[in-house]
């Protein structure tokens, strides 16, 4: 299943984008928007993902959890929690795999906040 994903600025990494595209996802970054949203605040990134009907992928779960709690009318949020410990943090490949695992469970993604760390199996 191909998903429309928007990479929040903190998750906007070329390797992650390429891996997601290779697995069939439609990926947009802050540089792909018109005007570019590079440097835009979280609420602007969130509003863009809502309007573009894209799942927002972020490495900034706390702020986007708050935005989700204020307005659950969105296509979904994929959050990655990081400890800044390379032995525990998810790799980009792990993130792509976790997204596939979420999809494989046939759950409703829209309107939900998903911690991809729980789907890293």
Mean of pLDDT values over 12-38: 97
Q: What is the pTM of this model?
A: 0.95
Give the whole-number percent of the chain exceeding pLDDT 90: 94
Q: What is the spatial distance between Cα 81 and Cα 98, in angstroms, rounded to a whole number?
A: 13
Q: Is the dihedral of CA 69, 16, 103, 100 positive or negative?
A: negative
Is 79 in contact with 64 (CB distance < 8 Å)? yes
Burial class of residue 118, CB neighbours in 10 A (0-12, 13-18, 19+): exposed
When pLDDT is cut at 50, 70 and 90, the band that residue 1 belongs to is confident
When pLDDT is cut at 50, 70 and 90, the band that residue 6 belongs to is very high
Contacts of 48 (CB under 8 A, 6+ apart): 6, 33, 37, 40
When pLDDT is cut at 50, 70 and 90, the band that residue 25 belongs to is very high
In degrees, to the nearest 5, what angle opens at C-alpha 58 toward C-alphas 86 and 84?
A: 20
Tell me the per-residue pLDDT of 45-92, one tens digit each, with 9 for 90 and over: 999 999 999 999 999 999 999 999 999 999 999 999 998 777 789 999
Is 23 in contact with 42 (CB distance < 8 Å)? no
Residue spans of beta strands (DSSP E) within the chain: 4-7, 26-28, 55-58, 77-79, 113-115
The DSSP code for 39 is T
């Amino acid at each position: 299943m191909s998903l429309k994903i928007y990479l929040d600025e903190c998750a906007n990494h070329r390797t992650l984008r390429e891996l997601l595209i290779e697995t069939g996802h439609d990926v947009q970054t802050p540089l792909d928007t018109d005007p570019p949203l590079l440097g835009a605040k979280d609420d602007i990134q969130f509003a863009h993902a809502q309007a573009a009907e894209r799942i927002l992928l972020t490495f900034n779960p706390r702020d986007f959890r708050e935005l989700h709690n204020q307005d659950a009318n969105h296509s979904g949020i994929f959050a990655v929690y990081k400890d800044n410990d390379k032995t525990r943090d998810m790799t980009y490949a792990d993130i792509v795999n976790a997204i596939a695992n979420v999809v494989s469970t046939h759950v409703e993604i829209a309107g939900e906040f998903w911690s991809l760390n729980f789907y890293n199996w």
